[in-house]
Amino acid sequence: MSMTRKMLTLVVVPCFALLACEVNDEPEVTVADPDTPAFEDDFEPVEEETVSLSEVDGSGVTGEARFTEVDGETEVLLQVENAPANASLAAHIHEGRCDDQGGVAEGLENVMTDADGEGASTSTVALTLNQIMDGQHYVQAHGEDGQPITCGDIPERGNGW
């Protein structure tokens, strides 16, 4: 083999090899640095807590309240069952406990029930979970006559949370 042919082989073959590497149908895989956060710096994990609601004075109404903190406020999803059918039930977060009731701390959207007595509402309140979960608040729904029909004490954080 001539010297020119050897030189061409040494130059051309690597060029074709480089071109072949650039045409790649497989996706590029990047391994994340474990010290780099997976989300933007302003990402905050969602905190969520659930409280069971018990019947009041034999009403039969039960349910749950789910509290989710987002950006320094708390979203409250209130769900009830066995409530009066096709009703609009006032709901609040109160100061105190179910057995030692106090004033309204935050109003919630009314719970609208269906023909089966099931209903839900979603509200956003200007309190953090830490403020709500101080052991001195409860969530309550009222019948159309204004009387409490279901109630749930919101425990203090650290006591079962």
Per-residue pLDDT of the chain (161 residues; tens, 9 = 90+): 555 555 445 555 554 444 444 545 555 544 555 555 554 455 455 678 999 999 999 999 999 999 999 988 999 999 999 999 999 999 999 999 999 999 999 999 999 999 999 999 999 999 999 999 999 999 999 999 999 999 999 999 865 44
What pLDDT sits at residue 34? 55
pLDDT at site 48: 87
Closest CA to 137 of 108, 109, 91, 100: 100
- Which structural domains are found in the chain, ordered by start? 47-154 (2.60.40.200)
Enter the tokens of residue 9: 């082989």
Terminal CA-CA length for the chain: 81
How high is the pLDDT of residue 18?
A: 46
Is the backbone of residue 160 left (phi > 0), alpha (psi -120 to 50) or beta?
Answer: left
Rounding to the nearest 10 degrees, give the CA dihedral for residues 100, 104, 109, 114.
30
> Which pLDDT score, from 0 to 100, does residue 8 have?
47
